[in-house]
Amino acid sequence: HIPTRGGKTEVMIAIAKYYLENINPEGKVIFVEPDSHLMSQTYKRCHKRGLEDVGRLGDGHRDLDRSVVVCIVDSLYNIVKDPDHEDFDTIQDVTAVFIDEVHHLGSPSMAQAPIVIPDIELFIGVSGSPFNDQANPHSNPRDVAIIGLLHRVIAKVSARYLMNEGYIAEPHVFILGYG
């Protein structure tokens, strides 16, 4: 649980890099993004942070024979829902899944796409606002689905902490009058 502009993508990439270098060098990592803009952004950031063997799935890209694949959730869903799809077996080799904007888990494609991959060793979701009901996430079906899939929040970084440390700017609101 990291606020907007707090570095969620950087955290995911750092964990993926550590996973591939220290835990499972033969592993296959997939980043699941809700749209093409975030797929492109994460793809570029992976390269910037030293992950070289990176492919994309979605928005006209189909480069799955890489140790890291950044995909649009709907493109992944179209593969995993059809065992006869030509890329189904390739996706089954994924060992680590990172879901960006996990609060979108209420959509069928976001909820179902990663859970049919059989040998996942590492499954992490990130969001600036993971739960609809922050005080009582067990009261909301979508929040319960997130908890069921990811089990628990492993870290919560407050916006105040990031401001105090100089990672994000403190917001200032100015009310402008009419007339």
Per-residue pLDDT tens over the stretch 52-98: 899 999 999 999 999 999 999 889 888 888 889 999 989 889 999 88
| pTM as predicted | 0.77
Q: Say yes or no to pLDDT of 41 above 70.
A: yes
Is residue 77 classed exposed, middle or buried when 0-12, 13-18 and 19+ CB atoms within 10 A define those classes? buried
**Could you tell me how far CA 62 lies from the centroid of its own chain?**
19
Q: Say yes or no to pLDDT of 31 above 70.
A: yes
Report the range of poorest mean pLDDT among 30-39, 63-72, 152-161. 152-161
The whole-number average pLDDT for the span 16-34 is 93
Nearest to 20 by CA among 46, 48, 2, 57: 46
Of the pLDDT bands very low, low, confident and very high (cuts 50, 70, 90), residue 140 is low
Say if residues 85 and 78 touch (Cβ distance below 8 Å): yes
**Neighbouring C-beta atoms of residue 34, cutoff 10 Å:** 19
Q: What are phi and psi of 157, to 5 degrees?
A: -110, 120
Question: What pLDDT is recorded for position 34?
Answer: 87
Question: What pLDDT is recorded for position 144?
Answer: 59
Report the range of poorest mean pLDDT among 5-9, 38-42, 172-176. 5-9
Is residue 33 classed exposed, middle or buried when 0-12, 13-18 and 19+ CB atoms within 10 A define those classes? buried
87, amino acid identity: D
User: What does the DSSP 8-state code read for residue 170?
Assistant: P
Portion of the chain with pLDDT greater than 70, in percent:
66
Say if residues 116 and 50 touch (Cβ distance below 8 Å): no
Say if residues 73 and 32 touch (Cβ distance below 8 Å): yes
What value does the mean pLDDT of the chain take?
A: 79
119, amino acid identity: D
The first and second tokens of residue 40, run together, are: 């492109």
Q: Say yes or no to pLDDT of 2 above 70.
A: no
Question: What pLDDT is recorded for position 132?
Answer: 56
What is the distance between the alpha carbons of residues 155 and 102, in angstroms, rounded to a whole number? 14
Q: Say yes or no to pLDDT of 17 above 70.
A: yes
